[in-house]
């Protein structure tokens, strides 16, 4: 894993020092080597920069930018099946001079053009300049594991693995995209293709971007979409056949992610997903797999479960109990590493466990995507219950009941704020069409409560984009709409962003076997009852885990990374509230309805605020603003 940065400057005013400053801003992504290259064209000057974390081919052979004939590349990520592709290219007459996967991408692009991506299994973002066609091609992996930001104002195209690389360039424009701020407060993250700044975007997963240096025209093309596989006919495999095939795919995904010339480990929580990854790896090697877990003095603590699992599997286990002080000290660093407002508080333990792993390994496997792909979230079950209730109502009565229900739900005294919000969501989502109803319900359940939306901003500029907008045509199973939405929004923009920045903050590479596109393509076509039979979530995945470890050992409640953030903010960390959420601090951006927001802050201090996640979202926005906008 590495960091990339660069520019295509049609004014020809950018310099080598500008390029160095861009790549120097992200040294944590590549501490082992650095390279830059300036290419002078008739219409522009092109700058390509690379910071390397050496994983495959530790020699200078992996140095970037790398050139082959008229193609020059900078690349961040890994192509796990590069040796197979290399053999295919050698049969076609290609000769290689390094052992790196970067060279394989160059030759594959030369042979097959941008369609070469269809052969790749991996996580990647690569930028290739073709001096013959005068085009820059950027390609992002299918799941969106590797990040990519770009700024474009018709005169200069700036790009980088992290937003801070763009910000260092003197031509970058730091103007907040006010319409996306409301989306951030809904979701807790800023979804691709948007960023916090105007004229600045993220390439969406599974897409190519091409920029012609002759015409300045940008084209955007989708080459892969998870949604498509949910719409295909369901598999006719029986359960045991499906389980066997999935098991083989999981083994293949894990084996590929062991390709490395440096030590590898696994984040182990003791839950099903990480246990599966650790078990598959340990079964395939005589060496002890290194596993890592952190526990906490406060909050949920999975460390005892992980220790028990590691002992059973026979891994080389490292456990560390973090103090409250250590966890709290991470919070001020979040705006620097995440670049944009980002409100997933589990970034804190993810950074801490990355620090622990960094002492022993350079690559670590994480087990994200199990819930999204195999129907693991409680929200899916809640949504299913609401759908059942809604569907008891005759279609012709739904519009009237929806209106009445929205009014009456405010007057139910014994309901908690959260339950009231979910019931309102159910009433708002009522539709004659089950698929559209499912999409609406999932959207409303996961959005900021309506009164917060209406009162938070001075001038609310509604964003036309919604991460929940997917093409509902051809979906046959309503609940799979929620899965597709989560895969295309929450997984990509929250979970994978969190892990990438956390691991890179300490210069280790995070790998994600469960986001292997072959697993999603297969699982999406399985009948829903193979994943959820009405009682057991992630059924087929859990049954595979039980082949490695006794069911009795896994029979425990799901916990996850949960910290007592809100009690900290009323206690040891109350100074953060006073510093960043004071009326004076809130006024600086000019975005907020300060009297109303201050009222919510005061309610929080008294432990009377019903929707506490709002405070963490607000604090992360304010800390980001203080870091990057002052």
Active-site residue list: 2
56 labeled binding residue: no
Contact assessment for residue 387 and residue 422, using Cβ atoms and an 8 Å cutoff: no
Spatial CA neighbour of 220 closest among 150, 167, 173: 150
DSSP state of 43: S
Contact assessment for residue 104 and residue 156, using Cβ atoms and an 8 Å cutoff: no
Per-state percent for the chain, helix, strand, coil, to nearest 5: 45, 15, 35
128 labeled binding residue: no
Contact assessment for residue 505 and residue 236, using Cβ atoms and an 8 Å cutoff: no
Q: Could you identify the residue written with the tokens 């790896």?
A: 281
Spatial CA neighbour of 108 closest among 117, 121, 96, 95: 117
Alpha helices (runs of H) in 132-189, residue ranges in sequence order: 163-167, 178-187
Collapsing DSSP to helix, strand or coil, 490 comes out as helix
Collapsing DSSP to helix, strand or coil, 176 comes out as strand
Contact assessment for residue 542 and residue 536, using Cβ atoms and an 8 Å cutoff: yes
Distance CA 256, CA 247 (A): 14
Distance CA 177, CA 621 (A): 13
Tally of CA atoms within 13 A in the half-sphere of 391 that contains its CB? 14
Q: Which residues pair with residue 292 across a beta bridge? A: 267, 318
Q: Tell me the CA distances in angstroms from 106 to 45, 102, 103, 116, one per residue in order.
A: 21, 7, 5, 10
Distance CA 244, CA 470 (A): 31
Name, in order, each residue with C-beta under 8 angstroms of 504's C-beta and a sequence gap of 6 or more: 1, 3, 28, 29, 337, 510
Annotated binding site for ATP: 294
Annotated binding site for L-glutamine: 101
Annotated binding site: 101, 294
């Amino acid at each position: 894993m590495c960091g990339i940065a660069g520019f295509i400057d049609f004014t020809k005013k950018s310099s080598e020092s500008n390029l160095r400053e861009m790549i120097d801003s992200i040294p944590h992504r590549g501490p082992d080597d650095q390279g830059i290259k300036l290419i002078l064209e008739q219409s522009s000057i092109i700058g390509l920069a690379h910071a390397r974390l050496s994983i495959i081919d530790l020699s200078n052979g992996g140095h970037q930018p790398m050139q082959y004939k008229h193609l020059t590349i900078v690349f961040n990520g890994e192509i796990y099946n590069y040796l197979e592709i290399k053999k295919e290219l050698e049969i076609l007459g290609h000769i290689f001079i390094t052992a790196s996967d970067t060279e394989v991408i160059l030759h594959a692009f030369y042979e097959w053009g941008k369609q070469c991506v269809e052969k790749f299994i991996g996580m990647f973002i690569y930028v290739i300049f073709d001096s013959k066609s005068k085009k820059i091609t950027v390609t992002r992996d299918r799941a969106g594991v590797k990040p990519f930001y770009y700024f474009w104002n018709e005169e200069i195209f700036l790009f980088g693995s992290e937003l801070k690389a763009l910000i260092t360039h003197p031509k970058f424009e730091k103007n907040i995209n006010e319409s996306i701020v409301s989306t951030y407060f809904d979701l807790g993250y800023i979804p691709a293709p948007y960023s916090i700044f105007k004229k600045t975007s993220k390439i969406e997963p599974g897409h190519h971007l091409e920029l012609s240096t002759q015409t300045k025209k940008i084209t955007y093309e989708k080459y892969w979409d998870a949604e498509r596989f949910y719409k295909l006919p369901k598999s006719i495999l029986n359960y045991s056949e499906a389980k066997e095939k999935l098991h083989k795919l999981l083994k293949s995904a894990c084996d590929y992610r062991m390709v490395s010339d440096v030590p590898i480990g696994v984040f182990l929580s003791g839950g099903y997903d990480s246990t599966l990854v650790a078990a598959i790896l340990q079964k395939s090697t005589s060496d002890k797999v290194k596993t890592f877990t952190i526990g906490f003095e406060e909050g949920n603590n999975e460390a005892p479960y992980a220790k028990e699992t590691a002992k059973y599997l026979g891994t080389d286990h490292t456990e560390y109990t973090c103090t409250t002080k250590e966890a709290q000290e991470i919070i001020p660093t979040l705006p620097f590493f995440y670049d944009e407002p980002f409100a997933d508080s589990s970034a804190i333990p993810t950074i801490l466990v990355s620090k622990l792993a960094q002492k022993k390994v350079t690559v670590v496997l994480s087990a994200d995507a199990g819930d999204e792909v195999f129907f693991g979230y409680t929200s899916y079950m809640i949504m299913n219950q609401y759908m059942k209730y809604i569907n008891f109502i005759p279609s012709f009565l739904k519009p009237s009941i929806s209106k009445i229900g929205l009014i009456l739900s405010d007057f139910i005294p014994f309901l908690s704020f959260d339950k009231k919000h979910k019931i309102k969501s159910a009433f708002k989502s009522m539709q004659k069409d089950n698929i559209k109803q499912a999409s609406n319900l999932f959207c409303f359940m996961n959005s900021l409560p309506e009164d917060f939306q209406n009162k938070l901003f001075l001038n609310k500029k509604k964003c036309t984009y919604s991460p929940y907008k997917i093409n509902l045509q051809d979906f046959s199973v309503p609940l799979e709409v929620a899965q597709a939405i989560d895969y295309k929004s929450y997984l990509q923009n929250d979970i994978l962003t969190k892990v990438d920045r956390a691991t890179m903050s300490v210069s280790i590479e995070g790998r994600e076997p469960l986001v292997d596109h072959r697993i999603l393509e297969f699982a999406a076509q399985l009948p829903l009852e193979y994943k959820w039979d009405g009682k057991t979530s992630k059924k087929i995945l859990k049954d595979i885990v039980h082949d490695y470890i006794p069911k009795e050992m896994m029979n425990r409640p799901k916990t996850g990374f949960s910290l007592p953030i809100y009690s900290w903010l009323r206690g040891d960390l109350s100074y953060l509230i006073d510093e960043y959420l004071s009326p004076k601090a809130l006024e600086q951006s000019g975005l907020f309805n300060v009297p109303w927001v201050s009222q919510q802050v005061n309610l929080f201090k008294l432990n009377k605020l019903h929707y506490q996640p709002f405070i963490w979202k607000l604090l992360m926005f304010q800390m980001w603003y203080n870091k990057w906008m002052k």
